[in-house]
């Protein structure tokens, strides 16, 4: 079995095992099961949910979802973020890595410092400790992803000017036609 098929099989098995509750086992070995919520981070997520859910790879709490869970290059994506800044930020550092699902080495990486002048068109800057974000954005043109069909894991780490963690986001994203 090739690596991608094996990875997919094990991933599906892991999802199934975390999302099924065994209710009873009869004498002939038949099991009665029901689908339950699965855990993503510290939240229960309905298995049939059509939202993608980011997980936290750091210590700063946040909630990020996107709809639809599977991105179609001919469609749009709605992203929702709830976040409270743990520190002041007037400049900082970003480190982003993208992996093919199941790989341990990224195929794409980006690291850079930034200033408020460079990022203020994307989010308010400077940021004060305790500032809250509760925002939904619709990205209506995602055709650029049509060349990147498949499943990916993206990790985004942001630190402020004092190298304090602002957020660490882990996303598993599927792109289809």
| Cα dihedral 173→89→134→47 (10° resolution) | 30
What global pTM score does this model have? Answer: 0.70
Domain 49-176 -> CATH class: mainly beta
Residues 6+ apart with CB under 8 A from 81: 62, 63, 64, 133, 134, 135, 136
Distance CA 89, CA 34 (A): 46
pLDDT band at 21 (very low <50, low <70, confident <90, very high): very low
- Average pLDDT of the segment spanning 58-83: 93
Q: Is the sign of the CA dihedral 71, 148, 144, 113 positive or negative?
A: positive
Domain boundaries defined on the chain: 1-36, 49-176
Tokens for 28, please give them. 């002939």
Phi, psi of 169 (to 5 degrees): -115, 135
Whether a cis peptide bond, with omega within 30° of 0, leads into 126 is yes
**131-169: pLDDT as tens digits:** 999 999 998 888 888 788 899 999 999 999 999 999 999
Is the Cβ–Cβ distance between 66 and 52 less than 8 Å?
Answer: yes
Q: What share of the chain is helix, strand, coil (3-state, %, to 5)?
A: 15, 50, 35
Q: Say how far residue 108 (Cα) sits from the centre of its chain.
A: 16
For 110-124, what is each residue's pLDDT tens digit? Answer: 999 999 999 888 888
């Amino acid at each position: 079995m090739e690596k991608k098929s094996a990875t997919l099989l094990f991933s599906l098995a892991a999802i199934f095992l975390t999302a099924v509750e065994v209710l009873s086992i009869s004498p002939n070995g038949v099991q009665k099961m029901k689908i339950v919520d699965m855990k993503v981070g510290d939240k229960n997520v309905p298995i049939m949910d059509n939202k993608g859910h980011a997980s936290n790879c750091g210590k700063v709490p946040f909630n990020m979802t996107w709809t639809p869970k599977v991105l179609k290059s001919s469609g749009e994506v709605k992203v929702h973020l709830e976040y409270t800044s743990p520190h002041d930020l007037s400049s900082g550092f970003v480190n982003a890595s993208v992996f093919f699902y199941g790989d341990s080495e990224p195929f794409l990486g980006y690291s850079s410092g930034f200033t408020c002048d460079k990022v203020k068109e994307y989010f308010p800057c400077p940021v004060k400790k305790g500032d809250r974000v509760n925002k939904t954005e619709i990205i209506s043109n995602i055709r650029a992803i049509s060349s990147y069909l498949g499943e990916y894991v993206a990790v985004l780490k942001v630190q402020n000017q004092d190298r304090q963690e602002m957020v660490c986001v882990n996303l598993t994203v599927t792109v289809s036609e």
